[in-house]
Amino acid sequence: MPDDGLDFGLVVAGYGRHYVVETPEGRRVICHPRGKKSECVVGDRLRWQPAGDEGVIEHVEPRRNLMFRQDEWRTKAFAANLDQILVMVAAKPVFSESQLARALIAAESAGIAAHVLLNKADLPEIEDARARLAPYTRMGYEVVEVALKARTDEARATLSPMLEGKATLVLGPSGAGKSTLINLLAPDAKAQVGEISQALNSGKHTTTSTQWYWLDAQRTTGLIDSPGFQEFGLRQVTAQDLPTLMPDLREHLPGCRFYNCTHQHEPGCGVRAAVERGEISESRYRIYGEIREELSQTRW
């Protein structure tokens, strides 16, 4: 076999062409890909070999799934081999339902289970937040309420069983409480970041990208933090597939008269009829239209 003699590793952080790879024993090594292409992401399992104090990545193992982010110019993968996604929102500040919807669509597209974590449940604004999330509960998403700062022990007891033994990507806008969550569940998070900064020689490199944290000494439960919620990528989705990735719309697709219905103007549309009956919320239908318009533009 061509991989004979190569070491196994898990990508736990990266910056440019520098990747922090963790060995099965827990040692962390800076590795670089062989050749010009740099295609590793956090969560990748790979094979590598030592090269002095560092290592060379020889082969990335097949991925179970892959998540993307995008900016104005390009779409880029950023996390792989996830068991679930935890989308964080808060009672305050008011969250963007469009960002939430996009994160859940991306999870559906990748075949990854998703949950919504509603933080700051101790604030009076919680009632409004619950009302805005009611459509997501109805379509089958689990919405878990916590107060990470006000009810710390209760939050830990609620979240620990959800995360145990899994690799969970945490997404959320600024102010939702991601840092509080990580510091609560991964007490040595700063130490883990310190190891990576030291390994990357952070005087030269600053890692503000995706980061893997272990929540237990046995290294069986991983929490992956990624900044840039608003940059969440959907360009891998086609306009035709979009309604199949939105559970509330998907339920009513069989009611459409035309197989290629866009659910915007055709007669006999099951989706539009469901909106009129109040079975699909106006905000969800609006978000569908906005995303469909984006996806219908020139594709990369």
The more confident residue out of 207 and 133 is 133
Looking at 231, 252, 271, which one is the last position of a domain? 231
Q: What is the CATH number of the domain that holds 260?
A: 1.10.40.50
Report whether 178 belongs to an annotated binding site. Answer: yes
Shared domain for 199 and 113, answered yes or no, is yes
Annotated binding residue 283 = no
263 is in an annotated binding site: yes
**Quick check: is 2 in a domain?**
no
Is 172 a known ligand-binding residue? yes
According to the annotation, is 255 in a ligand binding site? no
Range of the domain at 84: 66-231
Asked if residue 25 is part of any domain, the answer here is: yes
User: Terminus-to-terminus CA distance in the chain, angstroms?
Assistant: 37
Residue 122 known to bind ligand: yes
pLDDT of residue 1: 42
Q: For 168-197, how does the pLDDT look when each residue is reduced to its tens digit (9 = 90+)? A: 999 998 889 998 999 999 877 765 666 666
User: Is 31 marked as a binding-site residue?
Assistant: no
What mean pLDDT comes out for the span 196-209? 55
Residues 160, 132 contacting (CB under 8 angstroms) = no
39 and 96 both lie in a single domain = no
Q: What is the pLDDT of residue 218?
A: 93
Dihedral over Cα of 48, 52, 53, 54: its sign: negative
The answer to the question of whether 121 is labelled as a binding residue is yes
What is the number of structural domains in the chain? Answer: 3
CA-CA distances (angstroms) from residue 246 to 50, 102, 240, 253, 276?
A: 46, 10, 12, 11, 17
Specify the higher pLDDT residue, 118 or 14.
118
Percent of the chain whose pLDDT exceeds 70:
88
Q: How confident is the model over 59-84, as pLDDT tens digits?
A: 999 999 999 887 666 778 899 999 99
Looking at the structure, do residues 122 and 215 belong to the same domain, yes or no?
Answer: yes
**What share of the chain has pLDDT > 90, as a percent?**
74
Name the more confident of 272 and 232: 272
174 annotated as a binding-site residue:
yes
Q: Does one domain contain both 97 and 188?
A: yes
74 and 50 assigned to the same domain: no
Q: Are residues 35 and 98 in the same domain?
A: no
